[in-house]
Structure 1
Amino acid sequence: MSPSPSPHAAAVVANGDDEAHNPAPSISISTTSSSSAILTPTPPYNSKKNENEKEKPQSDDGGEAGEVLTPDGNVPTPKELDTLRHVADKIPLNVWLVAGISLTERFTYYGINSPFQNYVQNPPHDPLHPGALDLGQSRATNLNDGFQFLVYLTPLAWAILADTRLGAYRTICLATAVYLTGVTLIFATSLPAALDNGISLGGFLTGMVTTGIGLGGLKACVPPFMADQYTATRPRVRTLKGGARVVVDRALTLQKIYGLWYWCVNLGSLSGIATTWMERDIAFWAAYLLPTCFLWFAVVILVVGRKRFVRRVPQGSVLADAFKVFGAAFKGGFSPKMDKGKPEYQRAHYGREVSWSTSFVEELKLGLAFPIAWTCHSQINTNLVSQAAQTHTGPLPNDVFQNLSALTVILAMPLVTHLLNPLLARLRTPFPPISRIAVGFLLQATSMAYASGLQKLIYSRGPCYDHPRHCDIPGGSAGGDAGPNDISVAYQIPVYVLDGLAGVFFYPTGQEYAYTKAPASMKALVQSILMVTVAVGAALAFVLTPAYKDPQNVIMYASLAGVMGLTTGVFFWGLRKYNALEGEMNELSAKQVEGQRRRELGREDSYRV
Structure 2
Amino acid sequence: MVAPPLPGELAVKCTFWVNISEVGDCPTSCAIESSSVHIGPLRPQSFLPPTTPPRFPSSTVTMKDGVLDDTFTTAPVQVVPALNEKHHTTLAPIHDKGYAPGQVIPTEDELATLPRIAGSMPWTAYMLCGVEFAERASYYGCKQVFKNFIRAPLPVGGNGAGAPPRGSQKTAGALGKGTVIASAMTDAFTFLAYALPIFGGLLADAKLGKFKTICIGVAICGVAHVIMIISAIPSIIQAGHAIGPFALSLYMLAIGAALFKPNIAPTVLDQNPHKKPHVIEKNGNKFLVDPEATSESVMLWFYLLINIGAFIGIATAYLAKYVGFWSAYLLPGVIYFMLPVLLFFVNKRLVKTGHGGSALGNFISVNFLALKNNGLKGFGRADYWEKAKPTWLADHGDTKHRDWTDAFVEDVRRTMAACAIFLFFPIQQINDGGLGAAANAQSASLTSNGVPNDVLDNFNPLAIIVLIPIMDHGIYPLLRKLGIRFGPIKRMTFGFLIAAIGASSFAVLQHFIYTTSPCFDKASTCEIGTGVSPLSLWIYAIPVGVTACSEVFINVTAYGIAYSRAPPNMKGFVMALSLFMTAISTAISLATADAIQDPYLVWAFAAPAIIGFVAAFVFYWLFRDLDDEDFFVNIEEPINNSAATDEEMYNSSLNDKNGGHNAVKDLKV
Where on the TM-score scale, by shorter chain, does this alignment land: which range?
0.7 to 0.9
Secondary structure in 1 matching 2:534: coil
Asked whether 1:271 is paired with 2:319, we answer no
Q: Work out which of the residue numbers 410, 416, 420 in structure 2 matches 1:365.
A: 420
Matched AA of 2:558:
G
> Does the Cα contact within 8 Å between 1:337 and 1:365 map onto a contact in 2?
no
Task: Name the CA distance, whole Å, in 1 between partners of 2:490 and 2:243.
Answer: 45
Q: Work out which of the residue numbers 567, 571, 575 in structure 2 matches 1:523.
A: 571
More helix by share: 1
Matched AA of 2:565:
K
Matched AA of 1:254:
S
Alignment of 1:274-423 (within 5 A): 274-321=315-362, 323=364, 343-346=385-388, 356=409, 357-379=412-434, 382-423=437-478
Higher deviation after alignment, 489-498 or 96-105: 489-498
> Does the Cα contact within 8 Å between 2:351 and 2:639 map onto a contact in 1?
no
Secondary structure in 2 matching 1:314: coil
TM-score (norm 2): 0.74
Structure 1 residues 597 and 109, CA gap change in structure 2 (3 angstroms)? closer
Asked whether 1:150 is paired with 2:192, we answer yes
- CA-CA distance at 1:345 after TM superposition: 4.4
> Does the Cα contact within 8 Å between 1:237 and 1:247 map onto a contact in 2?
yes
Q: 1:112-154: CA deviations, max 9, x gaps?
A: 0001121122221165111112222333223222111100111
Task: Name the CA distance, whole Å, in 2 between partners of 1:73 and 1:403.
Answer: 43
Task: Name the CA distance, whole Å, in 2 between partners of 1:443 and 1:415.
Answer: 17
Aligned to 2:252: 210
Asked whether 1:564 is paired with 2:605, we answer no
> Does the Cα contact within 8 Å between 1:144 and 1:382 map onto a contact in 2?
no
Matched AA of 1:433:
P
Task: Name the CA distance, whole Å, in 1 between partners of 2:239 and 2:378.
Answer: 53
- CA-CA distance at 1:380 after TM superposition: 8.7
Matched AA of 1:235:
P
Structure 1 residues 599 and 226, CA gap change in structure 2 (3 angstroms)? closer
Aligned to 2:178: 136
Asked whether 1:544 is paired with 2:554, we answer no
Q: 1:537-581: CA deviations, max 9, x gaps?
A: 111111110121111111111111122222222211111111112
Matched AA of 2:443:
A
Task: Name the CA distance, whole Å, in 2 between partners of 1:210 and 1:341.
Answer: 46
Q: Which has the larger radius of gyration?
A: 2
Higher deviation after alignment, 537-546 or 345-354: 345-354
Aligned to 1:257: 298
Task: Name the CA distance, whole Å, in 2 between partners of 1:98 and 1:367.
Answer: 25
Q: 1:73-97: CA deviations, max 9, x gaps?
A: 5223332222211100112101011
Matched AA of 2:476:
N
- CA-CA distance at 1:339 after TM superposition: 5.7
Matched AA of 2:87:
L
Aligned to 2:540: 492
> Does the Cα contact within 8 Å between 2:432 and 2:544 map onto a contact in 1?
no
Q: 1:166-211: CA deviations, max 9, x gaps?
A: 1111111110001111122121111112112222112221111100
Alignment of 1:117-196 (within 5 A): 117-125=147-155, 127=168, 128-196=170-238
> Does the Cα contact within 8 Å between 1:185 and 1:204 map onto a contact in 2?
yes
Aligned to 2:556: 508
Aligned to 2:491: 436
Q: Work out which of the residue numbers 84, 87, 97 in structure 1 matches 2:117.
A: 87
- CA-CA distance at 1:423 after TM superposition: 0.5
> Does the Cα contact within 8 Å between 1:153 and 1:532 map onto a contact in 2?
yes
Task: Name the CA distance, whole Å, in 2 between partners of 1:416 and 1:101.
Answer: 23
Secondary structure in 2 matching 1:396: coil
Task: Name the CA distance, whole Å, in 2 between partners of 1:537 and 1:284.
Answer: 28
Structure 1 residues 68 and 341, CA gap change in structure 2 (3 angstroms)? closer
Q: Work out which of the residue numbers 261, 269, 272 in structure 2 matches 1:227.
A: 269
Q: 1:362-396: CA deviations, max 9, x gaps?
A: 12222211122223334399432221110012221
Q: Percent identity?
A: 27
Matched AA of 1:564:
G
Q: Work out which of the residue numbers 425, 430, 448 in structure 1 matches 2:503.
A: 448
Aligned to 2:62: none
Secondary structure in 2 matching 1:388: helix
Q: 1:517-540: CA deviations, max 9, x gaps?
A: 111222111111111111111111
Unaligned runs of 5+ in 1: 1-20, 32-36, 41-66, 477-481, 602-609
Higher RCO (C-alpha under 8 Å, 6+ residues apart): 1
Aligned to 2:515: 460
Task: Name the CA distance, whole Å, in 1 between partners of 2:604 and 2:488.
Answer: 30
Structure 1 residues 235 and 543, CA gap change in structure 2 (3 angstroms)? same
Q: 1:1-46: CA deviations, max 9, x gaps?
A: xxxxxxxxxxxxxxxxxxxx98797875757xxxxx5489xxxxxx
Task: Name the CA distance, whole Å, in 2 between partners of 1:24 and 1:430.
Answer: 31
Structure 1 residues 321 and 442, CA gap change in structure 2 (3 angstroms)? farther
Secondary structure in 2 matching 1:239: strand
> Does the Cα contact within 8 Å between 1:138 and 1:548 map onto a contact in 2?
no
Aligned to 1:70: 88
Task: Name the CA distance, whole Å, in 1 between partners of 2:612 and 2:393.
Answer: 35
Task: Name the CA distance, whole Å, in 2 between partners of 1:381 and 1:271.
Answer: 23
Aligned to 2:623: 575
Aligned to 1:533: 581
- CA-CA distance at 1:69 after TM superposition: 1.7
Structure 1 residues 270 and 362, CA gap change in structure 2 (3 angstroms)? same
- CA-CA distance at 1:321 after TM superposition: 4.7
> Does the Cα contact within 8 Å between 1:29 and 1:38 map onto a contact in 2?
no
- CA-CA distance at 1:439 after TM superposition: 0.9
Asked whether 1:108 is paired with 2:126, we answer no
Structure 1 residues 381 and 225, CA gap change in structure 2 (3 angstroms)? farther
Unaligned runs of 5+ in 2: 1-33, 49-84, 90-101, 156-163, 643-669
- CA-CA distance at 1:445 after TM superposition: 1.3
Task: Name the CA distance, whole Å, in 2 between partners of 1:487 and 1:328.
Answer: 60
Structure 1 residues 349 and 232, CA gap change in structure 2 (3 angstroms)? closer
Task: Name the CA distance, whole Å, in 1 between partners of 2:321 and 2:483.
Answer: 51
> Does the Cα contact within 8 Å between 2:436 and 2:596 map onto a contact in 1?
no
> Does the Cα contact within 8 Å between 1:176 and 1:299 map onto a contact in 2?
yes
Task: Name the CA distance, whole Å, in 1 between partners of 2:258 and 2:546.
Answer: 27
Structure 1 residues 470 and 598, CA gap change in structure 2 (3 angstroms)? closer
- CA-CA distance at 1:324 after TM superposition: 5.0
Structure 1 residues 158 and 484, CA gap change in structure 2 (3 angstroms)? same
Matched AA of 2:462:
L
Matched AA of 1:212:
A
Aligned residues: 535
Task: Name the CA distance, whole Å, in 1 between partners of 2:582 and 2:109.
Answer: 43
Task: Name the CA distance, whole Å, in 1 between partners of 2:526 and 2:638.
Answer: 67
Task: Name the CA distance, whole Å, in 2 between partners of 1:120 and 1:344.
Answer: 54
Higher deviation after alignment, 532-541 or 229-238: 229-238
- CA-CA distance at 1:338 after TM superposition: 5.7
Secondary structure in 1 matching 2:256: helix
Structure 1 residues 380 and 275, CA gap change in structure 2 (3 angstroms)? farther
Structure 1 residues 398 and 321, CA gap change in structure 2 (3 angstroms)? farther
> Does the Cα contact within 8 Å between 2:562 and 2:574 map onto a contact in 1?
yes
Structure 1 residues 335 and 274, CA gap change in structure 2 (3 angstroms)? farther
Task: Name the CA distance, whole Å, in 2 between partners of 1:341 and 1:155.
Answer: 33
> Does the Cα contact within 8 Å between 1:122 and 1:132 map onto a contact in 2?
yes
Secondary structure in 2 matching 1:358: helix
